[in-house]
């Protein structure tokens, strides 16, 4: 397969559709993650989806279905090393992910390393057109989506916090408090109540909810102070690793 044929294949409408679809579908998956305040958001999911698309295209078009046989080395599969790159780059990307308290750092960096490996693989297979187009699209994603995040999503998602609230109250007030929370907070993720094992007159209520506020914990403390029958309440940021 000569260079002209490779470039012609890359700019074939079917391959371009595959690449664009990978970006579009990765965007929608990342948007859902972003809107639910997950750490792996738009850019991470788009880059992973695009990288997987590039790897797949390379596996289809980059390696002819032949074996190289020599008297010195025997029969060799020309795609074996490339297959190991796909697995090995995952360990490299994993080393770029860092956790600092409740914050996860480096996910987009890891995804960028992964797609960089796929672009390098495309170059090694002689698929220069695919590598060039993919590089341009990856850079477009990194720059344009960052702008989208800062201008469009910053007010709707970045200020959203997921909090866990532990409440103790008298048994006779537990139903009223439970109903108040369900009615008051529309972004309620989870709520449960059970009797205290140490004191049969006390009920414990556990709540997980999302709230958009500059000082969400202080705001919730003020709101819960006005609830009748509340014995104690503790509020902390909920760290969900999904």
- Predicted pLDDT at 5: 56
**Strand pairing of 230-237 and 74-77?**
unpaired
**pLDDT, tens digit, 9 for 90 and up, residues 63-115:** 665 555 555 555 556 667 667 777 877 776 777 676 654 456 677 878 888 88
Name the average pLDDT for the chain: 77
Q: Which of 117, 132, 108, 106 is nearest to 52 (CA)?
A: 117
Spell out the SS3 assignment of 55-91: HHHHHHHCCCCCEEEECCCEEEECCHHHHHHHHHHHH
Rounded to the nearest 10°, the torsion over CA 141, 143, 148, 150 is 140
Give the whole-angstrom CA distance, residue 59 versus residue 57: 5
Q: What's this model's pTM, rounded to 2 decimal places?
A: 0.51
Q: What is the mean pLDDT of residues 180-205?
A: 86
pLDDT in tens, 139-163: 888 888 777 766 766 555 556 778 8
Sequence-distant (6+) residues with CB within 8 A of 24 are: none
> Which of the given ranges, 110-119, 136-145, 163-172, has the highest pLDDT on average?
163-172
Among 105-119, 188-202, 206-220, name the most confident range.
188-202
pLDDT of residue 9: 55
Which percentage of the chain shows pLDDT scores above 90?
2
For residue 104, the cross-strand partners are 99
- For residue 67, the model assigns a pLDDT of 52
* Closest listed residue to residue 208, CA positions, set 235, 177, 172: 235
pLDDT of residue 241: 38
Look at the block and give the residue holding tokens 């590598």.
Answer: 131
Q: Give yes or no for residue 211 having a pLDDT over 60.
A: yes
Task: For each of the domains in the chain, give its residue range(s) and CATH number, in order of start.
Answer: 3-153 (no CATH), 160-237 (3.30.70.260)
- The pLDDT score that the predictor gives to residue 70 is 54
When pLDDT is cut at 50, 70 and 90, the band that residue 217 belongs to is confident
pLDDT of 58 above 80 = yes
With tokens 């390379």, the residue in question is 58
User: CA neighbours within 13 Å on the CB side: how many for 18?
Assistant: 19
| Residue 233: count of CB within 10 angstroms of its CB | 19
């Amino acid at each position: 397969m000569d260079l002209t044929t490779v470039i012609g294949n890359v700019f074939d409408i079917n391959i371009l559709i595959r690449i664009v679809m990978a970006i579009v579908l990765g965007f929608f998956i990342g948007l859902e993650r972003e809107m639910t305040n997950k750490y792996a958001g738009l850019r991470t999911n788009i880059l992973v989806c695009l990288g997987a698309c590039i790897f797949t295209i390379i596996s289809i078009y980059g390696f002819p279905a032949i074996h190289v046989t020599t008297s010195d080395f025997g029969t060799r599969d020309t795609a074996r090393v490339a297959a190991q790159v796909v697995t090995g780059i995952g360990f490299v990307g994993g080393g770029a992910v860092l956790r600092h308290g409740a914050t996860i750092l480096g996910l987009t960096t890891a995804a960028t390393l992964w797609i960089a490996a796929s672009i390098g693989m495309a170059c090694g297979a002689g698929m220069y057109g695919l590598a060039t187009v993919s590089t341009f699209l990856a850079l477009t994603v990194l720059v344009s989506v960052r702008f989208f995040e800062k201008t469009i999503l910053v007010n709707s998602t970045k200020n959203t916090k997921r909090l866990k609230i532990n409440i103790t109250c008298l048994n006779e007030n537990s139903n009223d408090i439970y109903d108040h929370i369900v009615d008051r907070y529309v972004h309620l993720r989870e709520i449960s109540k059970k009797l205290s094992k140490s004191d049969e007159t006390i009920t414990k209520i556990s709540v997980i909810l999302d709230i958009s506020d500059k000082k969400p914990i202080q705001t919730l403390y003020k709101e819960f102070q006005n609830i009748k029958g509340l014995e104690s309440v503790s509020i902390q940021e909920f760290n969900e690793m999904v």
